[in-house]
Amino acid sequence: MTKEKKLLLMDGHSLAFRAFYGLASQIGNMKNREGLHTNALYGFHNMVEAKIKEIQPSHALVAFDAGKTTFRNEFFEDYKGGRDTMPAELSEQMPYFRELLEGLGISYYELENYEADDIIGTLAKEAEEQGFETIIMTGDRDLAQLVGEHTQVDFTKKGGFDAITPEYLEESYGLSPEQVPDYLGLKGDPSDNIPGVKGIGEKRAQSLLDQFGSLDVLYERLDELKPSKMKENLIEQEETARLSRKLATIDRTSPIQVSIDDLEYPGKDLEKLVSFYKEMDFDSHLLNLNLSGLDIEEEEEVPYQWVTDISEDMLKNQQAVYGEMLADNYHRAAIECVAWGDSEQVYVTSIDIARESETFKAWAEDDSIEKYSFDAKAAIVSFLRRGIVLNNVSFDIHLASYLLSASDHSDSVADVANGHNYRGIAMDELIYGKGKKTAVPEPVEKMHQHVASKVKAIYELTAQLNKELIENGQEDLLKSIELPLAKVLAKMEVRGITVDAAQLEELQTQFQKILDHLEQEIHEKAGEEFNVNSPKQLGVILFEKMGYPVIRKTKTGYSTAQDVLDKLQRQAPIVDDILKYRQISKIQSTYVTGLLAEIAEDGRIHTRFLQTVARTGRLSSVAPNLQNIPIRTEEGRQIRKAFTANHEGWKIFASDYSQIELRVMAHISRDEHMTAAFKAGEDIHSATAARIFDLEDTDSVTPNMRRDAKTINFGIIYGMSDYGLSESLGITRKAAQEFIDIYFERYPGIKNYMDDIKREAKDKGYVETLFHRRRYLPDINARNFNQRTFAERTAINTPIQGSAADIIKMAMIEMETHLKKEGLQAEMLLQVHDELIFEVPSDEITQLNALVKDVMENIVDLDVPLEIESHYGDNWYDTED
């Protein structure tokens, strides 16, 4: 049997554009070592590779537009006029597409005077005649006119492709393929500067074609239309309409010099592809090839010495130190080997030799000896758990690269190195494998070699990144905040928090009964058994079987999210049960079962606070996340009863900042009215309500007014639009806009801040917090509305959320210092963004209460006071004043 005849045709420029904008946020960090941007090449490569894998074509071609002008310009000069020129970051990538395609083994073609569309249209026609199945990949909607029984057009969309078939076209637009040019002729196409008929958009074009079938028939029978403005336009602009159609019609008989036989797809040319990947620094692709058997490994061979006896002359001031672990949870992971050194010399040993060496331990602990690291906290924790105290870690290339750009998610030495033009470190996956197959390599020297190269890289990158930090004015942020914090967090993590398993198990039984009952109830009301946890099955039950109105769709089906179900609550008695089931089921799986599984042998939970994840500078918490323990519902809040103090007679003590983000905003914006309200000690939401509702004083503020003011205050911090506010207040968009206008009028300083910070982001390309934490916003000047407005909201929010994060981080460092200095036994356990949680002996409560207030409220001097509230109790649930 002959191979299936399948032709894949791709629209080169259109896909390149999509790839470029799809990865627009990566522009900043996707460059090869020569500084060439690579995001479009990367995205295009992935798109094409995925499609090839999916459809397994026998023939393939990428068509490109040849030049600026085509035959269409001969009869319409302005065709594609007014188009923005291609961004420089993209045009510099264009010459390399050919190289990439040669590596992928795909033919490419362009034809003077014609567009890629015409090449594709002509070949698709030929293919149809020869009995091929054709798939066309493009981002350009015009190509819909090519669909047919054996020709499918796949349009790019977020995260994949939409397959357009004649049936789809009929269903979604009510059009046949032949009607597409007529449709575009009527409504026009702004992206190609095709004018169309004035006043006719999508809807009218559709209904006209529905009625008359084609543009020609429409003009023959124009008198059937009732007199209207639209009819006048049609008459007046007949010539434009016909011209527009002509422009939108793909030429399926273009004089191409290739035929389908030339397009046979032979598969990848690995040699060419590898050299392309190397040129572009596509390390992950290289890695994939390697795992499938190709040897391209090129790690620099750093000389190292394996030691079994550690002597003093090996240990100096200002060396890099690193413990290798193959799993990310350093509380549990084994340390496979320990290494230290500098550019000249690297030593490698085992963790057992290191921990038994008094010489090594003394060096590690010596506060006058500086050590450089990758991930200081991981090193401190993993060493501490083995009796080695690691002091004076004076640099951390992981933290440094995060501070230089908070969006940089490098989380290995190789990543940081690659991101800073330092080559020669193999990716860990290459040495250790990935997923289930992760293991120490044979022979073990391969690992020692790898770790030695990391140590050298840490040492050398320390100098380089330190320089970059100084240039950015961020040296202090590392030295005075992040590095000291790493040590504080390390202690908190190792300490852990005591969780009462028996208590959780009791909850588990209770919740299970409720869940069983609710499930039964739901099945009864639905009239059949199904998995309530499956949004897909639930959607079918609610919207097909039971026929309730569809409120919103997701990309895969019906949305059954909470706010959707809320809207059905009145008419659908089943949704109460579903909502309750969801709520309890969440608590049961994530917080009861989930937390039980995380309790260590010491009866405590040891989370990890991630210091380099959140792009605003906040911490995050994983394995488990202890920053989202339920509090908003009573059932959920019960979980907190299981978090207790470790000793009899001790208490859990919690202090939280009141409105720290709004206070920070008042300070940054210098808005006089908001500042005054905080200074006067007013309830800020009431003060806002009084201001925007024109009240004499806060006494006449009703609870509803306060609630609305609170919504607006929060919305402002997030850069909310009129639409967003109207949704959350349940008012019209117009009313919401009026609210916002009044708000800005009454708080002009805040309005100025919003404008200034956006301006600044556009000029500099980044925003900063009060303490110089930096976040780049590559999309701030994007042409795409969503990307740009998202970047603008981020510009507004990041300095606020990020400065608040800076402040509590400083307070944590200070608290740890003071607890020690004042000889308190109390210990800090957790941070939840604006809140610190301690355990404390009862007789220290008064002292702790005073200390925490002093530290947290005075850690920085803003234009407004900082205030905290503190509570304590036997567990995290019972924290009364």
> Which residues between 715 and 734 bind DNA (CB under 7 A)?
715, 718-725, 727-728
Q: Phi first, then psi: give them for residue 747, nearest 5 degrees.
A: -125, 70
767 within 8 A of 775, measured Cβ to Cβ: yes
Residue 448 found at the interface with DNA (CB under 7 A) = no
Q: What is the nearest approach in angstroms of DNA to the Cβ of residue 283?
A: 16
Q: Binder to DNA among 253, 368, 556, 704 (CB under 7 A)?
A: 556
Residue 387 found at the interface with DNA (CB under 7 A) = no
Residue 632 found at the interface with DNA (CB under 7 A) = yes
Q: How many CB atoms lie within 10 A of CB 836?
A: 24
Distance between CA atoms of residues 815 and 854, nearest Å: 10
Distance between CA atoms of residues 426 and 113, nearest Å: 47
Following CA atoms 213, 217, 222, 225 in sequence, which dihedral angle do they give, to the nearest 10 degrees?
-20
Residue 172 found at the interface with DNA (CB under 7 A) = no
Chain residues 817-846 in contact with DNA, contact rule CB under 7 A = 832-835
Q: Which residues pair with 321 in a beta bridge?
A: 340
Residue 616 found at the interface with DNA (CB under 7 A) = yes
Residue nearer to DNA on the CB measure, 196 or 719 = 719
Q: What is the nearest approach in angstroms of DNA to the Cβ of residue 555?
A: 4
Choices 40-48, 275-283, 584-592, 765-773; region in contact with DNA by CB under 7 A: 584-592
Distance between CA atoms of residues 450 and 432, nearest Å: 10
Give Cβ neighbours of residue 192 (< 8 Å, ≥ 6 apart): 79, 80, 142, 247, 248
Q: Distance of CA 562 to CAs 420, 579, 590, 681, Å? A: 44, 7, 18, 37
Q: Which residues pair with 61 in a beta bridge?
A: 9, 107
Chain residues 135-164 in contact with DNA, contact rule CB under 7 A = 159-160
Residue 480 found at the interface with DNA (CB under 7 A) = no
799 within 8 A of 770, measured Cβ to Cβ: yes
Residue nearer to DNA on the CB measure, 520 or 825 = 520
Binding residues for DNA, total number by CB under 7 A: 77
543 within 8 A of 567, measured Cβ to Cβ: no
Residue nearer to DNA on the CB measure, 677 or 805 = 805
Residue 561 found at the interface with DNA (CB under 7 A) = yes
Per-residue x/- marks for DNA, 111-140, CB under 7 A? ------------------------------
Residue 551 found at the interface with DNA (CB under 7 A) = no
> What 8-state DSSP symbol labels residue 292?
T
728 within 8 A of 708, measured Cβ to Cβ: no
Chain residues 779-818 in contact with DNA, contact rule CB under 7 A = 785-786, 789-790, 793-794, 797-798, 801
Q: What is the nearest approach in angstroms of DNA to the Cβ of residue 485?
A: 16
CA nearest neighbour of 833 among 609, 591, 594: 609
Distance between CA atoms of residues 484 and 487, nearest Å: 5
Q: Binder to DNA among 625, 646, 752, 849 (CB under 7 A)?
A: 625
Q: Binder to DNA among 3, 555, 570, 820 (CB under 7 A)?
A: 555
Choices 352-360, 536-544, 567-575, 682-690; region in contact with DNA by CB under 7 A: 536-544
Q: Binder to DNA among 3, 436, 820, 821 (CB under 7 A)?
A: 436
Residue 629 found at the interface with DNA (CB under 7 A) = yes
Residue 318 found at the interface with DNA (CB under 7 A) = no
CA nearest neighbour of 80 among 26, 120, 140: 140
Residue nearer to DNA on the CB measure, 229 or 555 = 555
**In 188-343, which residue ranges form alpha helices assigned H by DSSP?**
202-212, 215-220, 229-236, 238-248, 270-280, 283-291
Residue 627 found at the interface with DNA (CB under 7 A) = yes
Q: Phi first, then psi: give them for residue 554, nearest 5 degrees.
A: -105, 175
CA nearest neighbour of 482 among 617, 614, 620: 617
Choices 58-66, 451-459, 487-495, 529-537; region in contact with DNA by CB under 7 A: 529-537
> Collapsing DSSP states into helix, strand and coil, what is residue 298?
coil
3-state secondary structure 407-474: CCCCCCHHHHHHHCCCCCCCCHHHHHCCHHHCCCCCCCHHHHHHHHHHHHHHHHHHHHHHHHHHHCCC
Residue 579 found at the interface with DNA (CB under 7 A) = yes
Q: Distance of CA 721 to CAs 25, 192, 666, 734, 743, Å? A: 22, 31, 20, 11, 13
Q: What is the nearest approach in angstroms of DNA to the Cβ of residue 571?
A: 18
Distance between CA atoms of residues 175 and 252, nearest Å: 20
Per-residue x/- marks for DNA, 481-520, CB under 7 A? ----------------------------------------
Residue 582 found at the interface with DNA (CB under 7 A) = yes
Chain residues 698-717 in contact with DNA, contact rule CB under 7 A = 711, 714-715
Residue nearer to DNA on the CB measure, 168 or 790 = 790
Q: What is the nearest approach in angstroms of DNA to the Cβ of residue 862?
A: 18
Q: Distance of CA 529 to CAs 291, 523, 541, Å? A: 45, 5, 10
Residue 533 found at the interface with DNA (CB under 7 A) = yes
Q: Binder to DNA among 535, 603, 749, 841 (CB under 7 A)?
A: 535
Residue 433 found at the interface with DNA (CB under 7 A) = no
464 within 8 A of 422, measured Cβ to Cβ: yes
Residue 345 found at the interface with DNA (CB under 7 A) = no
Q: Binder to DNA among 425, 490, 610, 864 (CB under 7 A)?
A: 610
Q: Binder to DNA among 333, 384, 596, 623 (CB under 7 A)?
A: 623
Q: Binder to DNA among 111, 587, 736, 855 (CB under 7 A)?
A: 587
Residue 537 found at the interface with DNA (CB under 7 A) = yes
